[in-house]
Structure 1
Amino acid sequence: MMKRHMLGSAVVASALLLTGCQAADEATDYDAVGKDEKSAAADDTDAKGHAQELAAAQPRIVTTYDGGIVTLDATTLDVIADTKIEGFNRLNPVGDGRHLVVSVADGFRLFDAGVWTQPHGDHTHSYAADPELTDTVFDTELPGHVVHHGESTVLFGDGDGKIQTFDTEDFADGDPKPQVAEADEPHHGVAVKLADESMLHTIGTEDERVGAKVVDKAGKETARSEDCPGVHGEAAAKDDVIALGCEDGILLFKDGTFEKIDAPDSFGRIGNQSGHEDSQYILGDYKVEKDVELERPERVSVTDTKTNELSLVDLGASYSFRSLGRGPEGEGVVLTTDGKLKIIDPKTASVTEEYPVIDEWEEPVEWQEARPTLFVQDEVAYVSEPDKKKIHIVDLESGEVMAETTLPHAPNELTGVAG
């Protein structure tokens, strides 16, 4: 795993490059900074929302609460903005390091977290501005999963089966235009654009989900599997492999075909997965109680997409669907109800480290209710503790709690942008 002093050196080098470029380029107005290259030294952000140039990228953390969205500095956890929006809100990064979409009644609403980095010759420029809940809404009924894979971002509407595909870099324009397609029938589904520009999406109805298919850019079906009952979620692995969870195992799409990996139990549901595009392993949850209102599992699944082997890892405590993450080297990270982060070596399917972070907790029955949540960005994990209105930063190499803060509201959803 990368050492922190290496990160420090990289930041210093970036700052030196930036200083040299600033001297050469002079000042520019950043009212309309988008994906076009612009450079200059800029003054502090003013009331009009002008951008401030930074010495290096400035990541931010974004969390929801009942009635709003809070944006934090990812290093200090200082509150940057508290944006009001009614109701229970879901957040998904679009993958450009700056924007997220908020699931609202009429679709996906674009949220600008206010930090971004642009290429400029042999170096980059980074900027910060005020976060903004924009007026841009990508219309759909019952907004569902958002998937960023490769150079594309895909939004799936559960209520109308609407699939909206974007070139991720186009979000820099603030109002990108999607390519639109539709699933055969509306259902709680997901879609992924593949490297060859084919589209993989789930198939099913409002009452039953059975599998997935792939269509090429001309709309011709090239692969199909209906051997994935209750298909849910997705994750990407190395070599453009896509994994979908099933009620009896996991379904992989690789090398142009679907391959099913059966669970060791007749009912072995994998509904939530976490991938790493440089790793051949998929981390997933694992449930075996078919009819219970809320199972509290104590095992997770690790799937080797090269060998098609599925292994189970005993954690000694339960977890929730917001507990799974991946570290910088592809290691699994799970936040368990004993208040610890469990670090998993996917090659051996075993727990290698346990880091105590928060108090013991119990998953609420209603999935919308706030519960401790994990978000991993680079070499650190962010862990929320709603009962105490806290967020903690944990160094994944040492387990050290590097910082924590108390928020004005109990955090619910938790994510971030790299800037």
Structure 2
Amino acid sequence: MPAPPQPPRPVITAAVLALALGLTLCACSGSGARSASGASAPSALSSPAPSAPAGEDASDAPGHGAIPGAAEMTEPQLRLAVVAPDGSTSGIDLLTGDSVELPDLPAPTAVTTDGRYLFATSASGLTVVDSGVWTVPHGDHSHYYLAESRPVGEVDGGAAMRTSSAPSLVTVLDPDAGRAVVLDGAALGAGSVALLAELDDVPADGLLVPSGRRLVQTTAGSAGSSPDTVRVLDAAGAPVAGTGVACPGAGETITSRVGVVVGCADGAVLAVAGSDPDGTVALEHIPYPAAVSDADRARDFRARKDRPVVAAVAGERGAWVLDTRDREWRLIETGTPLVAVSAVDDRDHVVVAVDRAGRVLTLDARTGVVTGTSEPLLADTMAEPALRDAVTIEVDAARAYVNDPAGRRILEIDHGDAARISREFPTPDVPMFLAEVGR
């Protein structure tokens, strides 16, 4: 049985909060508050009152991420978006455990997030929803915002559409139509969908990912071939001369704190955006430490947002961990095959996983040691392939969240305490899709 519910977050004392407010006011000239460490430090009590409306002062300060009508908060407004197979959507406030309203979606085939927006694909194309909560890094601290959740718009297309997001650009690739569009990130924040560019003749199994003010694309050397090269495009979709790195079997991607990762049969290509005015993107190949079979290569990368370490299932062997800062792969071999993994951080080296027995595991990426194991809480979900494939791990600085479709619940895991289950959230419908927002 899971442990009794525990307070999910450390309490911010009045003294710490006063110090945080003072430091932020000094650094940002009245733009809002932060924790004393500059990191996420949610309270276990309740959602705080706004530190100030995100109006004139906040919105006039470049890079703070405010929009009219939003309130700047003293801490991140972390929430879970839980989506049922028919698109019914519910929200969970992780500061209080209370339910919050989110717009329903068309029956989705996939739901992803960049920490603010929900991108849901369905038979009619892509639906974009603003969750109303987001975090904006700003130097040595971050700004946290709260607004009303709202539908933003749609992009017509097929059920296999794939989306990648950055603050300024969002790409939507429709493999069924062989086309992709580039959306204006600022327009999404203002509540509308605006196309900046459209690309035709895009490989059906290719990728198109924002990197700074440019795009990273996978392409094939000949028509009908699988993508085998990573190259750089400008924001309008024109190839940048002199870019192109071999990436056989290119097909998976994630964006880390360092850059865009593209998985290859022989490792990965890392695309790093420069700080120069032209927004140059450098491509670098990171090979596996030894030859890897196709069945054991890293595919579905997962990680805590804005951290340098990412992870993926390694076939039947365990988990791959890629440190994009050190340009280093590590293989963690486990006794039981894994169905999902996610990397937490490069400081404590924690990886959270779910194995085929339905247990939640915590792993040490340095030593490969299993540091925590739960009971087989997801055993019924593991027995149904469609439900097993839907298991998702979302991680933040303090907790991990796992959906249990068969059990109609979300598990909250303390990944710093041997995979202890700290809370359970029952869901009214089958939680087929899970996304954490506010990060």
Residue number among 94, 105, 110 corresponding to 2:123 in the alignment: 105
TM-score, normalised relative to structure 2: 0.71
Equivalent-residue separation in structure 1 for 2:17 and 2:386 (angstroms): 39
1:264 paired with 2:282, answer no
Equivalent-residue separation in structure 1 for 2:321 and 2:60 (angstroms): 42
Alignment partner, residue 251 of structure 1: 268
Residue number among 185, 188, 191 corresponding to 1:174 in the alignment: 191
1:163 paired with 2:191, answer no
Q: Which runs of 5+ in 2 are unaligned?
A: 1-7, 32-49, 62-68, 273-281
1:269, 1:286 within 8 Å by CA — same for their partners in 2?
Answer: yes
Alignment partner, residue 209 of structure 2: 192
1:159, 1:187 within 8 Å by CA — same for their partners in 2?
Answer: yes
Alignment partner, residue 44 of structure 1: none
Residue number among 312, 320, 324 corresponding to 1:284 in the alignment: 312
Task: Classify the secondary structure of the residue corresponding to 1:102.
Answer: strand
Equivalent-residue separation in structure 1 for 2:143 and 2:327 (angstroms): 40
Alignment partner, residue 46 of structure 1: none
Q: 1:391, CA displacement in angstroms?
A: 0.9
Q: 1:142, CA displacement in angstroms?
A: 4.0
> Given the superposition, is the C-alpha separation of residues 392 and 6 from structure 1 closer, same or farther in structure 2, using an over 3 Å criterion?
same
Equivalent-residue separation in structure 2 for 1:188 and 1:239 (angstroms): 25
Q: 1:389, CA displacement in angstroms?
A: 0.7
1:146, 1:190 within 8 Å by CA — same for their partners in 2?
Answer: no
TM-score, normalised relative to structure 1: 0.73
1:216, 1:222 within 8 Å by CA — same for their partners in 2?
Answer: no
Task: Give a deviation string over 1:264-322, Cα, whole Å, max 9, x none.
Answer: 334343221135687654422223xxxxxxxxx241122355676543211222222x4
Alignment partner, residue 409 of structure 1: 429
Q: 1:234, CA displacement in angstroms?
A: 0.8
Q: AA paired with 1:284?
A: A
2:175, 2:202 within 8 Å by CA — same for their partners in 1?
Answer: no
> Given the superposition, is the C-alpha separation of residues 214 and 271 from structure 1 closer, same or farther in structure 2, using an over 3 Å criterion?
same
1:319 paired with 2:338, answer yes
1:114, 1:132 within 8 Å by CA — same for their partners in 2?
Answer: yes
1:327, 1:396 within 8 Å by CA — same for their partners in 2?
Answer: no
Task: Give a deviation string over 1:95-140, Cα, whole Å, max 9, x none.
Answer: 3x432221133322111223357899x99674343x3344x11233
Residue number among 392, 395, 415 corresponding to 1:376 in the alignment: 395
Q: AA paired with 2:214?
A: S
Alignment partner, residue 332 of structure 1: 351
Q: AA paired with 1:177?
A: A
Q: 1:54, CA displacement in angstroms?
A: 5.8
Alignment partner, residue 214 of structure 1: 231
1:350 paired with 2:368, answer yes
Alignment partner, residue 302 of structure 2: 274
Q: CA RMSD in A?
A: 4.2
